[in-house]
Amino acid sequence: MDIPSPEYNHYLVSRAIYSEPTFQGENEKKLRVSKTLRERLQKSCSCTSRKALKVTKSFLPVLEWLPKYKVKEWIVNDTISGVSTGLVATLQGLAFALLAAVPVGFGLYSSFFPLLTYFIFGTSKHLSAGPFPVVSLMVGSVVLSMAPDDKFTLLSNGTGLNKTVINTVARDAARVGISGTLCFLVGILQLAMGVLRVGFIVRYLADPLVGGFTTAAAFQVLVSQLKLVLNVPTNNYNGVLSIIYTLRDIFSNIALTNIADLIAGLLTFVVCVVVKEINDRYKHILKVPIPIEVIVTVIATGISYGANLAGKYNAGIVKTIPRGFIPPVSPDVSMFSDMIGSAFPIAIVAYAIAVSVGKVYATKHNYVVDGNQEFIAFGITNIFSGAFSCFVATTALSRTAVQESTGGKTQVAGLISSLIVLIAIVALGTLLEPLQKSVLAAIVIANLKGMFWQVLDVPRLWKQNKYDSIIWVFTCIAAIILGLDLGLLAGLVFGLLTIVLRVQFPSSGALGNVPGTDIYKSVKDYKNVVEPEGVKIIRFSSPLFYGNIDSLRKTIVSVVGFSAIRVYNKRAKALSLIQNLIKKGKLRATKNGIISESGVTNEGFEPDPDLDDPEENEIQSKEVEVQVDWNSDLPVKVSVPKVSIHSIIFDFGGIPFMDVVAVRSIKQIAKEFQRIDVKVFIAAYEDEVLKKFEACHFFDGDLKHDIFFLTVHDAVLYIQSQNMFRDTEDPIFEKISLMQESKEPLEFTGLEPSENELDAQEEAMRRLAS
């Protein structure tokens, strides 16, 4: 960056010192009239043809972009993109159905129906709606918890021995019903949140939290698919430590590994990872990514069918894929109460993933994704899909990347990809029945590479923001140990807790002036800054509320070096002791001050040197006013802290809002310092903060608007100008009425007030307070 020439690298401003009243007197404020609730409701409920058209287009975005579709320019790109994405969607639908614990054929349905509805209601041009590993696994955990294998056991005695078998037909039917009902319920929740305009809720799922959660989910997916790659028997677990129990079962039965499935899975995984890496590295050369999942699936299906791997080696295959569509069914409403607790986090996670991916490509291609409309779009999508026994839809990162990288321009590409899935449902389903499940599992694992690479974000986050890195690690560990739903909740709560901690213990400290400028920086961070004489400037960078007001008090004591309340109490006690000493004749009061017989005087009020004999000025049995300079040596051996400042400036530039407790506390702090002759000023505040002061009755006879200044420098200059006039006058001193009776010398010993002296102490404190 070039440095400007000297005549252009500085500026000079000449203006008045602005306190709040001064500024308001010179600058007229606009009068803003807020509308009543009735007026706002009336405006919202009013209907015109233009407004009705706008609302309709916002609810049905297809009416906005489809009439503007450039057929000659876009149709070729959308067709190529749609075919490529459709092939990937077909294979991922089959694979992700294993995660959802439903027959693989229903994965095809879950890849088809969401594409149709999102075409109509979605606002992203590139997002490919359908299954996603993390969401599918969350669905699977609900399905397995509500329909475990042990609920469908039968007693068989075909060989003369009683044997327990699983009624897979009834089990699969029950699981399909559960997944469809869950999808319907998730859709209702998403649609409700979209109508209520609560799309902002996703903001509480910070990137570190989502990163840790999806990495943990990838690990959960890996473990769940590992048993399919090895084809070993395991029990189905759900909830806390389920992943530990599953790993225990896998390693306990590792000797039962099916070699045919293991080899097929390993080869599929290696080939997919290598080719995907080639696609990523040479995407600028390849017009269309190599559809490796499709190629591997075709080859693996041919080998399995030709070698009869299921018959000869007992390989686990897909077996039956229904051809065509099944009729729609209504959801089992009686299940809603059992699954509502799991449906809500699934709805949020599915929405968050879709919006995050959509916004990435929206930013890249310069258009806007409407968060609330996306809630509505996926709500309707999942309600519609649930009626056709699908599981919850969101988007897949890899599938959306294929749609965008192959030149997709609009959701016409999504519509064409649905036609490819339709062909697979209607005509090709039976051809995939010999396909090994280990191949599908390996395809799922290969698609997790991007989520596992998120681990590399942790060191970077640690350098940038330690709180964010801790949130990432905590959420990841919690989701692995507790399960995805509880882990997400734990991560969210922990993330909010870190915000509370950061607000509870914010950055604060003393500021000093950069000489010759109006710039104020931390005295701890810069060597050349100078604190104005007798002035302490304190900055507090956080919202100020009941939870951190004590932190502000501690900062004040740390910066100024004393407690205003303690100084006030010490002074009151000292005044009481002085009064008692005079009554006992151990001090003498004169017009010029108080004198002890040992010659120790109050240095702020030494006798007039022109007087020959100060005793001649003594007043017997007569009240005199004695003034006390608290920063001089007192005639009593009592510890009274020195106060070396006369002003405090609070820099409120870093405080966006305050609550009632904070305003009351600031008022109390200001009055505490006023009692010891230290003035308090407030600078660089937001207008909303000033309104809060006014609304909470901060101002009274002692605290007025003129202690508020637009900048810290305005306040400093005002204080310095006031001190120029004060230097020629007598300092401000406390005054009390004292009596002098005798001439006994002063004893320099610690004096404790007797019971009779307590009344005098209370009287002195009362007079000092007044």
Please tell me the predicted confidence (pLDDT) of residue 604: 35
Of 396 and 328, the one with more pLDDT: 328
Which range among 232-241, 482-491, 583-592 has the greatest average pLDDT?
A: 482-491
Give the pLDDT confidence score for residue 490 in this predicted structure.
93
**What pLDDT is attached to residue 364?**
87
Q: Is 196 a residue whose pLDDT tops 80?
A: yes
**At residue 621, does pLDDT exceed 50?**
no
pLDDT of residue 769 exceeding 60 = no
At residue 150, the pLDDT reads 84
Amino acid at 758: L
- Considering the chain, what is the average pLDDT of its residues? 83
The Cα–Cα gap between 736 and 583 comes to 13
Distinct helix (H) and strand (E) counts, the chain: 28, 14
* Dihedral sign (CA 357, 363, 367, 370): positive
What's the confidence (pLDDT) of residue 733? Answer: 39
∠136-140-143 over CA atoms, to 5°? Answer: 140
As a whole-number percent, the residues of the chain with pLDDT over 70 amount to 85
The answer to whether 624 and 589 are in contact (CB under 8 A) is yes
Model confidence pLDDT, tens digit, residues 324-362 = 888 999 999 999 999 999 999 999 999 988 988 888 889
On the question of pLDDT at 763 being above 70, the answer is no
| pLDDT on residue 758 | 42
Query: What's residue 345's pLDDT?
Result: 92
Q: Decide which of 275 and 50 is more confident.
A: 275
Q: How far apart are CA 612 and CA 540, in angstroms?
A: 56
Residue of 433, 386, 425, 35 lying closest to 186 (CA atoms):
386
What is residue 8's predicted lDDT score, i.e. its pLDDT?
A: 60
Residue among 101, 97, 100 nearest 89 (CA): 97
Q: pLDDT of 534-578, one tens digit each?
A: 999 999 988 999 988 999 999 999 999 999 999 998 888 888 877
Q: Is the pLDDT of residue 596 over 80?
A: no
Cβ atoms of 614 and 595 within 8 Å: the answer is: yes
pLDDT above 90 for 679: yes
d(CA 403, CA 265): 26
Taking residues 373-395, report their average pLDDT: 95
What is the spatial distance between Cα 587 and Cα 740, in angstroms, rounded to a whole number? 7
Tell me what pLDDT residue 2 has: 55
Q: What is the pLDDT of residue 512?
A: 95
Smallest CA-to-CA distance from 680 within 694, 698, 654 is with: 698
pLDDT at 745 over 60: no
Give the pLDDT score at 599. Answer: 46
Sorted by where each starts, the structural domains of the chain and their CATH numbers stand as: 76-154+178-495 (no CATH), 506-564+643-726 (3.30.750.24)
462's tokens: 């640690």
Distance CA 60, CA 64 (A): 8
Range from 172-186, 466-480, 632-646, 724-738 carrying the lowest mean pLDDT: 724-738
**Residue 358 corresponds to which amino acid?**
G
Residue 51 confidence (pLDDT):
79
**pLDDT-based confidence at 193, cuts 50/70/90?**
very high
**Alpha-carbon distance 453 to 392, whole Å?**
25
Average pLDDT over residues 601-611: 39
Q: How far apart are CA 396 and CA 118, in angstroms?
A: 14
Residue 598 has pLDDT above 70, yes or no: no
Query: Where does the pLDDT of residue 449 fall: very low under 50, low under 70, confident under 90, or very high at 90 and above?
Result: confident
Residue 247 has pLDDT above 90, yes or no: yes
Handedness of CA 722, 727, 730, 736 (dihedral sign): positive
| Whether 658 contacts 682, CB under 8 Å | no
Name the residue with tokens 């400037």: 537
Average pLDDT over residues 503-532: 91
Query: DSSP letter at 561?
Result: S
Residue by residue, DSSP assigns 606-642 as PPPTT-S-GGGG--TT--EEEEE-TTS--SS------
pLDDT confidence of residue 155: 67
- Average pLDDT over every residue of 683-701: 92
pTM across the whole model? 0.76
Lowest mean pLDDT among 191-205, 256-270, 322-336, 368-382: 191-205
Confidence of residue 638 (pLDDT cuts 50, 70, 90): low
Q: What is the pLDDT of residue 746?
A: 36
Q: Which residue has the higher pLDDT, 707 or 158?
A: 707
Least confident stretch, 185-199, 428-442, 704-718, 746-760: 746-760
Distance of alpha carbon 79 from the chain centroid: 41
485-491: average pLDDT? 90
Residues forming a β-bridge with 512: 521
Give backbone dihedrals phi and psi of 418, rounded to 5 degrees, phi first.
-65, -30
pLDDT tier for residue 160 given thresholds of 50, 70 and 90 = low
Residues 119-134 have pLDDT tens digits of: 999 999 999 999 998 8
